[in-house]
Amino acid sequence: MNASLFIRSLLIGFSIAAPVGPIGVLCIRRTLAQGQLAGLLSGLGAATADAIYGAIAAYGLTLISAILIGQAGWFRLIGGLFLIYLGVQTFRAQPATEAASSDGKIRAAGLWGAYLSTILLTLTNPATIMSFAAVFAGLGLANSSGDPLAATVTVLGVFLGSALWWLLLSGGVSLFRASFSKTNSLQWVNRGSGIVLIAFGSVALASLLRG
């Protein structure tokens, strides 16, 4: 394994995940409301989507990337509407008054929902693949498309770098979870998070009108 390539890919995944956007808001809110595992899985959903887009850039799948970029308007529409939906649901959500249910099926369904919803949100942002393509080219990683092993190392590094950020974020937020344990505090977290998500969704839809 090329250690230098892996480390550079790790840093790329970390740096692309780190800016706090709608996924970051979701991760923070879910960590406070549902615990670190829910927040971490929300982040891992984004890391999975980052790895998918990283794979498209690393393996040189130009046809797929062209289709994704060509349909950017539809992706932005879907992502914007989904963000607004999540924002409304989050704003209206009532804080849990007791510990999470001991019913494994219910808890598993909630965790899978957290994971899958952030995959969808991240995949509906085609700017992500353009970010990866630009960064890969700038760091000389674009040539990995001719080397399957190098491309695989690149994708693995991107995923682990992104996952590391979400682990640190959810772990850090969980340290302060006790401070938000009161119902009123969580209610304000829900409302604030909902407003931010609705704002992100509205900006995405407004960009369609400007475009």
Q: Give the residue, 186 or 46, on which the prediction is more confident.
A: 46
pLDDT-derived band at 89, boundaries 50, 70, 90 = confident
Residue type, 127: A
pLDDT of 20 higher than 60? yes
Q: What is the dihedral of CA 184, 190, 192, 198, to 10 degrees?
A: -160
pLDDT at position 101, please? 42
Question: What's residue 40's pLDDT?
Answer: 93
Q: What value does the mean pLDDT take over residues 24-45?
A: 89
User: How many percent of the chain have pLDDT more than 90?
Assistant: 12
Q: Could you read off the pLDDT of 52-82 as tens digits, one per residue?
A: 887 887 777 666 666 666 676 777 788 788 7
Q: Cβ-count burial of 164 within 10 angstroms (0-12 exposed, 13-18 middle, 19+ buried)?
A: middle
How far is residue 13's CA from residue 15's CA, in Å, rounded to a whole number?
6
Task: Tell me the per-residue pLDDT of 173-207, one tens digit each, with 9 for 90 and over.
Answer: 888 777 765 556 667 777 887 888 788 788 878 87
% of the chain exceeding 70 in pLDDT: 71
Phi then psi for residue 153, to 5 deg, are -60, -40
Helix (H) or strand (E) holding 185: helix 183-210
Instruction: Give the pLDDT of residue 99.
Output: 39
pLDDT higher for 27 or 96? 27
pLDDT digits (tens, 9 = 90+) for 119-152: 988 888 766 766 666 666 655 555 555 577 877 8
Which residue has tokens 């369904």? 109
- Of the candidates 11, 29, 19, 8, the one whose C-alpha atom is nearest the C-alpha of residue 125 is 19
In which band, very low, low, confident or very high, does the pLDDT at 42 lie, cut at 50, 70 and 90?
very high
> pLDDT tens for residues 93-111?
766 544 344 344 446 667 8
pLDDT for 4 equals 82
**148-164, pLDDT tens digit by residue?**
787 788 889 889 999 99
The domains of the chain are located at: 3-210
